[in-house]
């Protein structure tokens, strides 16, 4: 079976691949399905390769909403969405026979979605019309896009899935005091000072976070406004940012200080 995974979070992609191996769809010696993190890379792949039998698709990729991809390329295979969006999209999924997995999802939920896929495939095996295969029509895309626009929920990331030695850890963004890039790795640091390694650059992660909640301090740090206790003048036109309930003090860069002041004022 040819499977394509569209997912911008590496831990989530690894977890999905593990579930697919557990389901027997990917062997330990097989070449794993391609994992693409952006709309543009997915478009290039779809144009250059035979069509997949099944797509596991996140909604928000690194460079935008995945529905923009499906508007530009007519995908005619079933799609199982792996999404952090909540119930506001479910009527659109159900009404058009599209399976979804709400993050963080379990192996049992993956099995249920795969069972739906196999049921769809069997129902279309005798069809002589390729157009009868499941597809995202323009009407479906309009419905999904409208549901996204009308939702009162933010499109920004609500949680990080973090690969730890003990397993996959779910870290709500509300628990993150600041993000810090250190020797090529970005760490999310919670209020207790625990550091969690993330996937992606600080700039990529900044685009995924609500700018009303996280502000840029300098080239290597973002801070959550919810954890700021006070801000004081510092040397060379910089600011010292004291964190609530912590001995940690962060500093802005001189170049970033004006923008940080404006961010603080809302």
* pLDDT at position 134 over 50: no
pLDDT digits (tens, 9 = 90+) for 103-115: 788 999 899 888 8
* pLDDT at position 145 over 90: no
Write 16-19 long-range contacts (CB < 8 A, 24+).
16/56, 16/82, 16/110, 19/107, 19/110
**149 Cβ contact list (under 8 Å, min separation 6):** none
At 164 the pLDDT is 79
At 209 the pLDDT is 93
Three-point CA angle 72, 83, 15, nearest 5°: 110
pLDDT level of residue 130 (50, 70, 90 thresholds): very low
pLDDT digits (tens, 9 = 90+) for 178-190: 999 998 899 999 9
* pLDDT at position 21 over 80: yes
At 95 the pLDDT is 45
* pLDDT at position 52 over 80: yes
* pLDDT at position 7 over 90: yes
| CATH architecture type of domain 3-150 | 3-Layer(aba) Sandwich (3.40)
* pLDDT at position 69 over 60: yes
pLDDT digits (tens, 9 = 90+) for 164-180: 777 788 999 999 999 99
Three-point CA angle 176, 182, 183, nearest 5°: 155
Q: Give the start-to-end residue ranges of the domains of the chain.
A: 3-150, 172-264
Phi/psi at 155 (nearest 5 deg)? -85, 0
SS3 letters for 37-79? Answer: CCHHHHHHHHHHCCCCCEEEECCEECCEECHHHHHHCCCCCCE
| CATH architecture type of domain 172-264 | Beta Barrel (2.40)
What mean pLDDT do residues 116-141 have? 60
Average pLDDT, the chain: 84
pTM: 0.54
At 74 the pLDDT is 84
pLDDT digits (tens, 9 = 90+) for 192-231: 999 999 988 999 999 889 999 999 999 999 999 999 999 9
């Amino acid at each position: 079976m040819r499977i394509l995974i569209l997912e911008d979070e590496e831990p989530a992609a690894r977890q999905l691949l593990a579930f697919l191996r557990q389901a027997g769809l990917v062997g330990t010696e097989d070449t794993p399905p391609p994992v693409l993190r952006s709309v543009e890379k997915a478009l290039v792949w779809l144009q250059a390769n035979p069509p997949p039998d099944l797509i596991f698709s996140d909604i928000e990729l690194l460079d935008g909403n995945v529905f923009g991809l499906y508007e530009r390329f007519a995908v005619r295979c079933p799609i199982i969405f792996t999404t952090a969006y909540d119930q506001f999209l479910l009527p659109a999924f159900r009404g058009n026979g599209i399976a979804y997995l709400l993050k963080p999802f379990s192996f049992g939920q993956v099995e249920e979605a795969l069972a739906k896929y196999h049921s769809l495939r069997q129902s279309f095996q005798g069809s002589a019309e390729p157009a009868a295969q499941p597809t995202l029509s323009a009407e479906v895309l309009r419905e999904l896009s409208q549901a996204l626009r009308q939702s009162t929920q933010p499109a920004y990331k609500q949680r990080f899935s973090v690969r730890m030695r003990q397993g996959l850890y779910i870290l709500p963004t509300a628990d993150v005091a600041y993000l810090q890039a250190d020797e090529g790795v970005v760490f999310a640091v919670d209020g207790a000072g625990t550091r969690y390694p993330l996937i992606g650059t600080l700039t990529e992660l900044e685009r995924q976070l609500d700018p009303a909640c996280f502000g840029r301090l300098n080239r290597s740090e973002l801070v959550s406004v919810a954890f700021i206790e006070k801000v004081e003048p510092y040397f060379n036109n910089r600011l010292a940012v004291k964190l609530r309930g912590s001995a940690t003090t962060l500093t802005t860069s001189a170049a970033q200080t004006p923008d940080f002041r404006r961010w603080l004022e809302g």
